Amino acid sequence: MFPFVFEWSWQLDWGRIVFMGLLYMVLGAISLGMLYAFVMTWLKLTGRDKLYERLWLRFPFTLW
């Protein structure tokens, strides 16, 4: 799972690239979503309303 685990291979193996690539893409999307929620909460709580308004996502999440 990580480059420092002994099974990790840097060889061009498409199965590995696709599998690990998709996994880290998904984990990245979840982490970024959570980070966004934490940052926006912090901005609102500390009264940075202008920045909060600017960072508030409008597309595609609120379009629908």
Partner 1 sequence: MDLALIPNGVQRCSLKTFTSWAVLWIVLIVWGLVSAFLVFWKGLNQTNMNHYFAFGLWIVFDLSLIALGAGAFFTGFLTHIIGGIFLYPFRDNLRAVVNAAVVIGFICYSAAIAMLGVDIGQPIRGWFIFWHANVHSMLTEVSFCITAYLGVLTIEYLPLILSNRKLKQVPEFNIFGNTLHHIVALFAAVGTFLSFFHQGSLGGMFGVLFGRPFAFREGFFIWPWTFFLFIHSSIAAGPAFTLLCIWVAQKATGKQLVTRDTFTLLAKISGWLLATYMIAKIADTIGWAYGVVPRAGLSFMDFFQAPYGVWLIIAEIGIFGIIPAIILITPKYRERENLLVIGALMNVIGIVLNRFIVTIQTLAIPVMPFDRFMTYFPTWQEWGIAFGSIGYGILIFSLSYRYLPMFPQEPELNPVEVLGTVVTDSGAIKRS
Tell me which residues touch partner 1 (CB under 8 A). 1-2, 5, 7, 13, 15-16, 19-20, 23, 26-27, 29-30, 33-34, 36-38, 40-41, 44-45, 56-57, 60-64
Instruction: Name which of 7 and 10 has its Cβ closer to partner 1.
Output: 7
For the record, the structure tokens of 53 come out as 């308004």
Compute the Cα dihedral for 32, 37, 42, 47 and give only its sign.
Answer: positive
- CB 10, min distance to partner 1, A: 13
In angstroms, what CA-CA distances link 2 with 13, 20, 50, 55?
15, 9, 40, 33
- Least distance CB 50 / partner 1 (angstroms): 16
